[in-house]
Structure 1
Amino acid sequence: MATRSTIMDTNSFRAEHAAALDEQTRTLTEKRARLLGDSYRLFYRNPVHLVRGEQQYLWDAQGNKYLDVYNNVASIGHCHPAVIEAVQQQMSQLNTHTRYLHERILDYTESLLKYVPGEVSKAMYMCTGSEANDLAIRVARAWSGGTGIIVTREAYHGTSELTSGASPALGSGQPLAATTRLVPAPDRYRVDTPDIGTWFAAQIQEQIDDMSAHGIKFAGLLVDSIFSSDGVLPGPAGYLKPALDVVHRNGGIFIADEVQPGFARTGESFWGFARHNIVPDVITMGKPMGNGIPVSAMLAKPEVLAAFSDTIPYFNTFGGNPVSVAAAQAVLKVIEDEKLQQHSLTVGTQLQKELAALAAQHDCVGDVRGAGLFIGFELVTDKASKNPDKQRALDVIERLREDHVLTSVAGPHGNVLKLRPTLAFQAHDIDWLVGSLDKALRAGR
């Protein structure tokens, strides 16, 4: 039997939970099971039926208010009026594909490129992060002449054929590509080394050598710079530089998957990779870019992209359409106008401080780590052993849900609470989150 997917099955509703549901919820889950494909998963043993959102809050069908501590899709806040207005206005004028001229895609690209290093100066647009990473892998292969892609052991990079073959977090039921190699994540909590950057680079070199021994030419390293699915591992700023150097020495490219850490999320910088003062060859982005409207992009150094684009035409019907780009323009302007990067840093630092104080009161909290409003809260059987406590983490998640706080888990052991609220999260929300966490942890003693 295939092992369960850590990102899909760890915190999920299953048929055996149905008997405990109220009649309305059970009816909806049964209808969903009858009509939708069986690959889908719902969060929680008692699924949440959401009907409305505003900023950092959500409401269910019974009118209960929830604090959203997980959603990076509506990154700047649910139903942000600036995004709604931009989308409505553009939809009333025109929506079509990128084979016609239109100013929006050009104006937005000029604005977006101001946020990345000058060496990265070309953009291509899609609808999802999976598509962006899929194209990035194709570009890496065209540039290098190789096929080998390296990712971390619990990485998630998408659902297309190429990206699912480089997404071990999907579980063993989804086979990895024969040209994919895995490296352990740079986990300072569990890896005993004085220099995590040098250690991580050595793991990459080892897998490049293994590829070579098996007749596979290395094409590139694909990493989410905060290692979200690996358990939220920001690490010290700058530690990814040795990894970049190893990649370039071996003729590959460095692909920064910014779907999760990008767009001011980490507070310390606009992008996750920027914390490390490196220049990726390719940058991918998705969900937070449109705040709920499907839009994604791949930015690249022109010489790297040319290896692909000089030979192969690329077209994505809805990628870069005026309505989606209008949403993306609004998001970028809101981040600037509302100073959300500084907000993420300020409130995130305060939240981490409160979580660290909470951790000191509970022997089951092994580590609190993060950057800005992206925090990993790791649960263990005890601080001394550091043994992962997946069951406690799942029980805490369910207790938080009953207290109307929504989040989920991450990491290879499913024992890390992934605290990633919308950037609309405020200092006054900290008491709700930390208080609910405290109550949930005490209930499990």
Structure 2
Amino acid sequence: MQEPALTGRDDAVESALLDRRQRLLGASYRLFYRQPFHPVRGEGVWLFDRHGAPYLDAYNNVACVGHCHPRVVEAIATQAATLNTHTRYLHETILDCAERLIDSLPAPLEQMVFTCSGSEANDLAVRMARAFTGGEGLIVTELAYHGVTQAIAEASPSLGVKVRLGNTVRTVPAPVDRGDGAAAMGKRFAAGVQAAIDDLAAHDIRPAALLLDGVFSSDGIITGPEGFLAPAIAAIHRAGGLYIADEVQAGLGRTGVMWGFPRHGVSADLVTLGKPLGNGHPVAGVAGRRDVMDHFGETARYFNTFGGNPVACAAALAVQSVIRDEGIADNAAAVGAKLHASLGQLAAAHSRLGDVRGSGLLAGVEVLDRQGGPDAGLAQTLVEGLRARRVLISATGPHGNVLKIRPPLVFGDAHVSTLGNALEASLAASTP
């Protein structure tokens, strides 16, 4: 399906909008696609442009239960029309939201602190880990993304070489699946973590935490085999550090289960959540062990005016209700299996596609050159080809050659077919 041709008047509208954006917004902003996309409405897995043309959204994880889900919209509107204030007053909604989240998380996670974004949540979790352990060292993967606060940008190598890593930050290679099982894969990854611990010690820096996005989204999407994370978690605990599970990407049913990290048979000391918790409304937070939370409370006060406000928590409660009532995690597992099977069939038929990775409704597909090496150029061409066919995805990974597919979790079988057909057509057009 090709994008409708724009009239001269339409071209002028887009050009004026681009000029206005460049004049008003800071230069650090970026746009997707050579022909920027201009959505004006969203519903479920669809985004609509100003012509009314539907685009299948196979990228935006923040709207986890679908764009503009009516139950979430109603919860936000009702609470906004009733009361919106802060956490220094008593209110039932923040307690209801915290209780439901804690009930869904495994022990020893017992308490919540709410923030507005995943960046704030990761920043706060690192502060908590440093306060509890007395260490400063932070270990992340080589292309991790954890947020944009000063401290967390310095632990997010995916932001680029011009964003300098912090002096107490060490990076480790992302896990590599060589097909030799979870134990061997885990041993390799843990060796990297131990090397980082040793390097911190050589510089008289005590480790505070290992901070991991459990699906390694920016590192190229690595979700299995299940269990490979356990040796690395054991290594950081032996060194006196904490394990912070960044669940912004992995949580709330994305991998076919409610939370990503328990798939590996590990316990987290702190867990961070991001805006998918509010389906895009600004609500996020940190769940943690009681002793870690208590220690932080003894040494610091934390207050965030809008973190955990009644409207935000009403949104988060509605999202959790939709996940439960509509079987969202089960849908991600079932439809995700069909998505991975479809992508696997395409990869088997096309030499320019390689490994298909991921779990549930998260998939990464390697794009290769004719010699079998990474091909970022072709990956971007495919992303643009899909956009022309009204399907939205992106690319990721250390070489920029992994197609990144992470749709809203209400994706269905028909949407898998639409995506597969569009990718096959884009491949045919790009690799004659």
TM-score (norm 1): 0.93
Q: Answer yes or no: is 1:292 the counterpart of 2:280.
A: yes
1:302-325 CA-to-partner distances (Å, cap 9, x unmatched) read 112222221101000000000010
Q: Secondary structure at the match of 2:217?
A: coil
1:91-127 CA-to-partner distances (Å, cap 9, x unmatched) read 1110000000000010111111111112110100000
Match of 1:94 in 2: 83
Q: Answer yes or no: is 1:323 the counterpart of 2:311.
A: yes
Out of 272, 291, 309, the residue aligned to residue 297 of structure 2 is: 309
Take 1:226 and 1:45, find their aligned partners in 2: how far apart are those partners? Answer: 28
Change (3 A) 1:43 1:136: same
User: How many angstroms does 1:22 deviate by?
Assistant: 2.5
User: How many angstroms does 1:192 deviate by?
Assistant: 11
The sequence identity of aligned pairs, in percent, is 50
Change (3 A) 1:24 1:191: farther
Q: Secondary structure at the match of 1:195?
A: helix
Q: Answer yes or no: is 1:41 the counterpart of 2:30.
A: yes
- Segments of 4+ in structure 1 off by > 3 A? 189-194
219-228 vs 269-278, which moves further = 269-278
Preserved CA contact (<8 Å) 1:74 1:288: yes
Q: Answer yes or no: is 1:428 the counterpart of 2:429.
A: no
Partner AA of 1:289 in structure 2: L
Preserved CA contact (<8 Å) 1:193 1:199: no
Preserved CA contact (<8 Å) 2:87 2:309: yes
Change (3 A) 1:113 1:192: closer
Match of 2:210 in 1: 221
Change (3 A) 1:181 1:121: same
Change (3 A) 1:193 1:352: closer
User: How many angstroms does 1:140 deviate by?
Assistant: 1.0
Match of 2:4 in 1: none
Aligned length: 423
Superposition CA RMSD, Å: 1.5
User: How many angstroms does 1:74 deviate by?
Assistant: 0.8
Out of 145, 148, 156, the residue aligned to residue 167 of structure 1 is: 156
Change (3 A) 1:148 1:190: farther
Preserved CA contact (<8 Å) 2:393 2:405: yes
Q: Answer yes or no: is 1:352 the counterpart of 2:323.
A: no
Change (3 A) 1:95 1:278: same
Q: Answer yes or no: is 1:236 the counterpart of 2:215.
A: no
User: How many angstroms does 1:194 deviate by?
Assistant: 7.0
Take 2:128 and 2:179, find their aligned partners in 1: how far apart are those partners? Answer: 34
Match of 2:173 in 1: 184
User: How many angstroms does 1:417 deviate by?
Assistant: 0.7
Take 1:99 and 1:136, find their aligned partners in 2: how far apart are those partners? Answer: 21
Preserved CA contact (<8 Å) 1:189 1:367: no
Take 1:22 and 1:205, find their aligned partners in 2: how far apart are those partners? Answer: 55
Match of 1:273 in 2: 261
328-337 vs 186-195, which moves further = 186-195
After superposition, residues 94-113 of structure 1 pair within 5 angstroms as 94-113=83-102
Change (3 A) 1:337 1:330: same
Q: Secondary structure at the match of 2:299?
A: coil
Q: Secondary structure at the match of 1:99?
A: coil
Preserved CA contact (<8 Å) 1:153 1:184: yes
Partner AA of 1:414 in structure 2: G
Q: Answer yes or no: is 1:411 the counterpart of 2:397.
A: yes
Q: Secondary structure at the match of 1:221?
A: strand
Out of 400, 405, 414, the residue aligned to residue 386 of structure 2 is: 400
135-144 vs 327-336, which moves further = 135-144
Q: Secondary structure at the match of 1:275?
A: helix
Match of 1:367 in 2: 355
Match of 2:327 in 1: 339
Take 2:117 and 2:245, find their aligned partners in 1: how far apart are those partners? Answer: 15
TM-score (norm 2): 0.96
Instruction: Return 5+ residue gaps in structure 2 as ranges.
Output: 1-9
Take 1:137 and 1:125, find their aligned partners in 2: how far apart are those partners? Answer: 15
User: How many angstroms does 1:193 deviate by?
Assistant: 9.6
Partner AA of 1:325 in structure 2: C
